[in-house]
Amino acid sequence: MGKLWQNPSTLVFTLCEAEPKGKLRAGAQGTRDATLQTRPILYLFIFGGESAPRLPERPADGRVAVDAQPAAYSMDSDSGEQSEGEPVTAAGPDVFSSKSLALQAQKKILSKIASKTVANMLIDDTSSEIFDELYKVTKEHTHNKKEAHKIMKDLIKVAIKIGILYRNNQFSQEELVIVEKFRKKLNQTAMTIVSFYEVEYTFDRNVLSKLLHECKDLVHELVQRHLTPRTHGRINHVFNHFADVEFLSTLYSLDGDCRPNLKRICEGINKLLDEKVL
């Protein structure tokens, strides 16, 4: 049974004692009924500022307690997709809100998780502002509201799924090494994004595109045994858009319409860097 509430600064969805519908389980008994720490959605995506979680314990019979493929289908089932007739946000199709979109995605994904873990997840104000600006520049570049919304929805869904896997100790020791590589690569990418904005005439779209593609490859490697081809398609959809050199040229154009959006994006990234989230 899910509980939904809102306070002035955050939107939070909590799943309490959900009935099992698949095979994604917290590995150690102590984590089954533990409350997951509340973290910004970007934090869930990059695992920044925190040591690696304890791996699941191996049962006495020697079998691994994780059945990755059913877990993937549990999170990627068709019933979790937004239908064509469903409103984009609570405010209507012409108003984009990353908080509202994250809330919708969390409700649908978490309703399919076969775990009795209590999951508290939210999108913080800084991350929300960055996502909202990314939506605006994506819409400006593509001239397609529906496509811009889908890209952001895919980004949020992937972030939530990786966060769930991480918080439920589903990654092996080898995968946790990939987590650390990804965290460092994303930190490097974030600093490069800001540097290219703050120092005029240093922008190199090929350098930034390469960094984003390297992030994409690490995400694919990390979730290879956990998530379905459908989610791998979402990962490609997100990173291929943001790593597109034409999109990056539009975003960084000195006299372009996206310059104010880029300023706000970099201000948000700087804040997350200062707080060691990125």
| pLDDT digit string, tens, across residues 14-47 | 233 333 333 333 333 333 333 333 344 444 444 4
Strand blocks (E) in 109-210: 119-122
Tell me if 14 sits within 8 A of 119, measured CB to CB.
yes
The answer to whether the CB of 136 falls within 8 A of the CB of 95 is no
What digits encode the pLDDT tens for the residues 113-167?
A: 544 343 444 567 888 899 999 999 999 999 999 999 999 999 988 988 898 888 8
pLDDT at site 164:
84
pLDDT at 54 > cutoff 50 = no
pLDDT at 65: 36
Distance set, CA 42 to CA 38, 171, 209, 265, 268 (Å): 12, 18, 20, 13, 11
What pLDDT does 249 receive? 97
**Max CA distance (Å), the chain:** 65
Token code pair at residue 95: 């108003």
Tokens of residue 129, six digits:
């502002």
> What's the one-letter identity of residue 261?
N
Q: How many domains does the chain fold into?
A: 1
Task: List pLDDT tens digits, range 214-249.
Answer: 999 999 999 999 999 999 999 999 999 999 999 999
Residue 94 has pLDDT above 80, yes or no: no
Cβ-based neighbour number of residue 207 at 10 Å: 13
What is the rounded CA–CA span in Å between residue 44 and residue 41? 5
**Mean pLDDT for the stretch of residues 159-178:** 91
How high does pLDDT run on average in the chain?
72
CB 52 within 8 A of CB 196: no
Where does the pLDDT of residue 91 fall: very low under 50, low under 70, confident under 90, or very high at 90 and above?
Answer: very low
Range of the structural domain that residue 104 is part of: 2-274
User: 206: burial class by Cβ within 10 Å (0-12, 13-18, 19+)?
Assistant: exposed
Residue 21: the pLDDT is: 35
Contact status, residue 121 vs residue 105, Cβ threshold 8 Å: no
Percent of the chain residues topping a pLDDT of 70: 56
> What is the predicted pLDDT for the residue at 209?
98
Are 118 and 26 within 8 A, CB to CB?
no
| pLDDT given for residue 112 in this prediction | 54
Where residue 235 sits, what CATH number does that domain have? 1.20.1440.160
Contacts 24+ apart (CB under 8 A), 142-148: 145/93, 145/94, 148/96
Contacts with 34 (C-beta within 8 Å, 6 or more apart), sequence order = 26, 117, 118
**Cα 41-44-46 angle, rounded to 5 deg:** 110
Q: Strand pairing partners for 121?
A: 13
Supply the pLDDT for residue 160.
84
What is the token pair recorded at 52?
A: 């690696």
CA 247 from chain centre, in angstroms, equals 20
